[in-house]
Amino acid sequence: MLRAGFGKADITPSYPLELSGFAARRGKSEGVHDRIYCRALHLEEEKEFTLISCDVLGFDVQFSDGVRQMVASRLGLSKAQVMLAATHTHSAPATMFLRHAGTVDKGYLKLVQDSILQAAEAAQETHPVTMSYAAKRVPGLTVDRVYQSAPDDSLVAIHLNPADKGEKRISIVNFSCHPVVLGAYNKYVSADFPGYVCSYYEREGEETIFLNGASGDLNPFTSKKHEQTGTFQDAERMGTSIAEKSYQNGKELEPSISFSDREVLLEQVRPAIEEETLEREVQAKRQRGDSIDPDTGIPYEVEAQVMEEWLSEVRSKEPGQVKAEAQALKLSQELALVSFSGELFSSVGNLVKLGSPFTEKMIVGYANGLVGYIPDQRAFEVGSYEAAEAYKYFDTFPFSKSVSKVAIKAMLIALAELNQ
């Protein structure tokens, strides 16, 4: 019989901090609009697994590895039995390096670490549950900011229904979209639309964990490419719509828990453009001052500073390899979820779904670290921001054009290993 437990810890800052996710934003937070949390789900059948999600932009791989090992040691698990994901809200304090997009406060990061442990320990108090799965389409909530084509609007939910009426139902809700409804100029702490998904369930007396999907190229309906124009009311509307459509129980499944993980090394390359050309670009951007680059939504002056700092960092370096991880969790013979430690393009997630040996599947991004964007090959060909510019903010060289193939292969191998 499957057993499940839930834990939750508040990670709302008690003092002003720089929020993460937008290079156009300046200064520290000015208040708290809605509280942010770390949520944990522990599953027990023949095997055990702990799934954790935090209302932050993301974590670097080193921090994620360390915290997962701490959780595993505390709970008597292996690191492979712990997944640490982020909802990727752009309105939470910085928890990882992102150039000119929020400085990490060590005291706050320690609070998050301690809260993760607290939530994971609380989730160890489990109760018997049955499991159901539902998949739907939710049109009109997202836009493809790169290709301006029809976005992936799939919504999936796993409901863990208690055998004892005195216990709460626990749900996992998975939807692919950047939580940037509030835009670059919001200075209030918020979980953005994922927070409203969870608060809907909580008002119903239940618990839920939101897992973001392959959303590297997907923005909310309030966006025009990289320009975000939404309000808190828009975020509530979006989160409530997702929650309402995911709420009902679906197909009953017989639980069967197993897990696998696979580390990969992502190859970096040196940009083809010469440094002298980049330096000329810096000067050209400086001349445009604080006007906004329509292709990125970032002021030209900020782009110039980022490019200049990045150049000074990499002049004496050579491209290397970046560690990433694919992790898979089987929940039944039909259903599995698989994660990757990057911002997967939706096309990458769709190819994993097509190749998966499971009929029902869930793709999870921003898990076990955030190494940057994982664009598809077309993004490199058209020179999109995610392929051609974003690496400068993550302080790395660009990835090889084959990075999506490496990620897809790792995720499919992790899924295949679940049945071995």
**For 315-348, how does the pLDDT look when each residue is reduced to its tens digit (9 = 90+)?**
778 899 999 999 999 999 999 999 999 999 999 9
pLDDT, position 121: 98
CA atoms of 181 and 89, how far apart (whole Å): 9
Instruction: Give the pTM.
Output: 0.94
Q: Name the percent of the chain in helix, strand, coil, to the closest 5.
A: 30, 30, 40
Among positive and negative, which fits the CA dihedral 71, 76, 79, 83? negative
Pairwise pLDDT comparison (393 vs 64), residue with the higher score: 64
What's the token pair of residue 224?
């025009």
pLDDT digits (tens, 9 = 90+) for 116-173: 999 999 999 999 999 999 999 999 999 999 998 889 999 999 999 999 888 999 999 9
Find the mean pLDDT for residues 62-87: 97
Question: What is the 3 state secondary structure string of 265-322?
Answer: EEEECCCCCCHHHHHHHHHHHHHHCCCECCCCCCEHHHHHHHHHHHHHHHCCCCCCEE
Neighbours of 287 (CB within 10 A): 11
CA atoms of 222 and 227, how far apart (whole Å): 9
| Helix extents (H) in 101-228 | 106-122, 192-203
pLDDT digits (tens, 9 = 90+) for 235-270: 999 999 999 999 999 999 999 999 999 999 999 998
pLDDT, position 289: 81
pLDDT, position 219: 95
Q: Is the pLDDT of residue 274 over 80?
A: no
- Residues with Cβ within 8 Å of 196's Cβ and at least 6 positions away in sequence, in order, are 235, 236, 238, 239, 240, 243
Number of H helices, E strands in the chain: 10, 21
- Residues with Cβ within 8 Å of 337's Cβ and at least 6 positions away in sequence, in order, are 172, 174, 211, 328, 329, 331, 361, 362, 363, 364
Please provide the DSSP assignment of 381-412 as one string: HHT-HHHHTGGGTTTSPPBPTTHHHHHHHHHH
Question: Whose CA is closest to 229, among 105, 143, 349?
Answer: 143
Residue 342 phi/psi, 5-degree rounding, is -165, 175
**Which residues, in sequence order, are bridge partners of residue 362?**
337
Q: Which of 111-115, 189-193, 287-291 has the lowest mean pLDDT?
A: 287-291
